[in-house]
A and B are shown apart, each in its own frame.
Chain A
Amino acid sequence: MQVSLEGISKQFGGFWALENVSLQLEPGQVVALLGPNGAGKTTLLNCLAGIVRPTQGKVRYDGEIFHRGRMDFRRRLMFLPDGPMLFARMSVLRHVAMCVRLYERPNPDEQRVVEILERLDLLPLATVPIGKMSHGQMYKSALTALLTVDPELWILDEPMASGMDPTGIAYFKHQARLAAKRGRTVIYTTQILEIAEKFSDRVCILDHGGMRLSGRVEDLRQSGNAQSLEELFLKLSERSEEE
């Protein structure tokens, strides 16, 4: 799915959380949104998912304006916030079944679901209420549904700091890579720059609600004359302080 942000601004009360953010993303990319705390990363993801409406600007998917009422687009994307939205009394299997129905997908192959559960170490917990699970297991439950539904646009807020264990994170990264190869777009936020550098096709750096840099990691490093993404990020932060 082609993603296009055109001059997105979002105001909360008197505060501009996002300021004139524009971005074009072609399908089949893994995109990292970086930025200091309060930069507007989560707000941008919320705009992409239709959770909040931009005060100004437009979100376009495949050239068409997106808003919360566009169920056709909402069935093509899935958003996992840092605290995933789950019914505490449902089991992971029921949650998967719910997502399959809400996203109007055909019934999935059982073996595929079992494989995802096994890789995420959720098999023994498959019939346990999600509310009884740990934070990381809850995130894995939501991720199981995402992997089963396999939407065209994956939107994830801090998946690397979600409480998932290293095996879960590795499995997620592997699946995201495969999904990108299938033409899916994966947009995620993180504060771990080493992961962003190695895992992402493209990096966008937000600061104070504005888009500071966007592009391939290699290109950004070269243009910023930096050895690593971390060095580039720190340089940008220093420049921002001076301004």
Chain B
Amino acid sequence: MRLYSLALVWRLRRAVRQRVRKSKSLRRRARWWRRSFKLDRPAIYEPLLIIVLAAIIAIHLEKGNAWLLACLTLYCTATAVMRSRQLQSLMTVSPERLLFHFYPLSDTHFFRWGLQVFLWKTARIWLASGVAFAFVFEAQNEPWFWKAAAFATLQWLVTVAAIFALAAYVYGIHKWVPVGLYLALIVVFYAGPLPYFAPIYPVLQALPTGWIDFAITAFHERVSEWIALMMLIVLAAVSVRTLAMRFRARIVVGAAPEQVSEPAHEPKHQIMGVLNEDAQLDELLEDEEEEDKPARPQTAWQNLRLQLVGASVGKHILSRDWLAPREWSMEPWLERLAGLWLTEPEKRTAEFLLGGAVLRWHELWRGSVIIAAAASVLFVVGLPSTYAIGILAASLSALLGVPVLGGNWPATSPARLSGKLSPLHGCFPLEYRTACRVMWKINLVRTAAWTPVGLLMSALAGLSYGSAAGIAAWLVLKGVLVYTASIPLLSAGQFSKSTNDTSNLRLATLPLVGFAMLIVLMFATAGIMTMALPTGLAFPSLGMTLGISLGAWWLYERYYERGQVDLVREPK
């Protein structure tokens, strides 16, 4: 379904150009606007990424297909989980869904439009699968082009079917699940076909998106390969259609939001409450029969005013309790510990940065301990397959316990500002240095709280798999130290994320962007060196990592405080 006619757009554009040409001032202004802002910049990143991935595959492929197919399966599973969340969001609470309430577009048409947009985005699944299968068939010395295309189509259809199934039946998948899967993919992909990962390849292939791998094995060197392949493709296409319709019935029509402006206090399940257009119509028709109902004696607004005038609310206002700062000493243990380290002005800054949110760091820590315990059990079992799963669980534990990417600071989140996005702190007097200090202290406390858990877990892993407990624990400790060194850099990133520092390229910001890329590269190199080098050399390397991080943080402060970056960025 097309939203507009391209022919009409071209005709209008031609008419506009003809008019603009007649006026010198219009010509000048139009040129400025055209140069400054262009529609749809071409994306050059994806072809580059494909080339890099293909190079890595080519390096590792000599050691067999299983690793590559497992990676593909992991990628498809992660994408299925992530895209299912995005699809649910697109069809229910996305800006597009809300936007189209203001135009005469029925649910059916919106679904069709949304589906087109969504399916177009899944094209990269086909692309990635095509590349992977091309390598697989090429390695088998078979004519690979059409076969890879057919298998990629099948893989794409199966993944899309999985997306629809998840979107229709599983609501509320946590955002960290796809992130965890992608991280696992990066680990497995980057590590290459290592022997201790081998036992998990069959496990991965048993996932719904990995069944194609079995099909390859089953079809290999059979005469009826193409017929069976076509049948599978048709079957997968039918599944996609059936599940898409099921998704439409359950989520798109069944849970259409009643209004665009739900009050913020409404729980999410109410927004997702069942409501269909026919039921609305029935209710409306039923209402016709209830015309003579007596009027309510009092509106809620009037009740509210009475309450305000009345004693309780008035007393509360007069008591000035609501002006009192957060009582850090009354918080749970981890939050209390962080509070002990903060000075009074820093506590005020922390309250602002946290946006009044209820602190749940201790709950995250508890979750990380439980997962770490599970990982430790897997390590103690001592099988090669449990080791790989244990590594994944240990990574998840670290993700929960350590404030990855610098932690969650609602005040640095973007908010709408006259059609643009601007960080919430932009309109308040927040000092870069104070805010960063607060972030550092809190992140350090959280990291320190998780460190014993990580050390214990790694020591157990080391003992169970033949290396010394001390070596494994030292490796984890180095990881923690590298993360700690990255905290200044990450805190600068919290300020950078809602600015136009990387999009509004000017002479003053150009060095910043170039330097930022260099710094990331240097930081990554120093971090890897810290992890890889022996103890004696690890410390200088760690010092270098910390130096780069602090240097980057300080440099960004110069730019930020001097107003070289704008606190606005374009919405996507």
Contacts and interface: CB of A to CB of B under 8 A. Distances in A.
B307 to A, nearest CB: 12
Given A13-B265, A129-B39, A53 B259 contact: yes
Interface string B400-432: 000000000000000010110000000000000
Contact of B30 (A14, A46, A124, A138): A124
Contacts of B311: none
Nearest to B293: A56
Interface stretch (A61-69, A166-174, A186-194, A219-227): A61-69
A86 B9 CA distance: 16
Contacts of A44: none
A49 interface: yes
A239 B9 CA distance: 54
A131 B15 contact: no
Interface string A141-165: 0000000000000000000000100
- Which residue, of B20, B265, B300, has the highest number of chain A Cβ atoms within 10 A? B300
Contact of B26 (A93, A100, A124, A163): A124
What's the interface size class on A, roughly? 35 or more
Given A89-B39, A114-B15, A129-B39, A102 B20 contact: no
A103 B100 CA distance: 12
A97 B104 contact: no
Contact of B16 (A12, A100, A126, A134): A126
Contacts of B40: 89
Contacts of B291: 7
Interface in A10-38: 11-16, 19-20, 38
Contacts of A99: 103
Contacts of B38: 129
A52 B259 contact: yes
B13 interface: yes
A20 B296 CA distance: 10
A128 interface: yes
A15 B304 contact: yes
A196 interface: no
B12 A93 contact: yes
Contact of B33 (A12, A110, A124): A124
Contact of B106 (A71, A93, A209): A71
B258 interface: yes
Given A12-B263, A91-B39, A123-B20, A75 B15 contact: no
Contacts of B287: 56-58
A131 B419 contact: yes
A51 B259 contact: yes
B106 A79 contact: no
Given A15-B304, A65-B284, A102 B258 contact: no
Interface string B528-572: 000000000000000000000000000000000000000000111
A58 B101 CA distance: 19
Contacts of B8: 97, 100, 107
A110 B98 contact: no
B383 interface: no
A18 B299 CA distance: 9
Interface residues of B, number: 62
B175 interface: no
B12 A209 contact: no
A14 B258 CA distance: 16
Nearest to A118: B19
B222 interface: no
Given A69-B281, A123-B30, A14 B300 contact: yes
A234 interface: no
Interface string A117-131: 110000111111101
A135 B258 contact: no
- Which residue, of B9, B288, B296, has the highest number of chain A Cβ atoms within 10 A? B9
Interface of A: 7, 11-16, 19-20, 38, 46, 49-53, 56-58, 65, 67-69, 71, 74-75, 79, 81, 83, 85-89, 91, 93-94, 96-103, 107, 110-111, 113-114, 117-118, 123-129, 131-135, 138, 163, 208-210
Interface of B: 2-5, 8-9, 11-16, 19-20, 26, 29-30, 32-34, 36-40, 96, 98-99, 101-106, 258-261, 263, 265-266, 277, 280-281, 284-285, 287-288, 291, 295-296, 299-302, 304, 416, 418-419, 570-572
Q: Which 7 A-B pairs have the closest CB atoms?
A: A110-B15, A97-B4, A74-B104, A124-B29, A124-B30, A52-B259, A69-B277
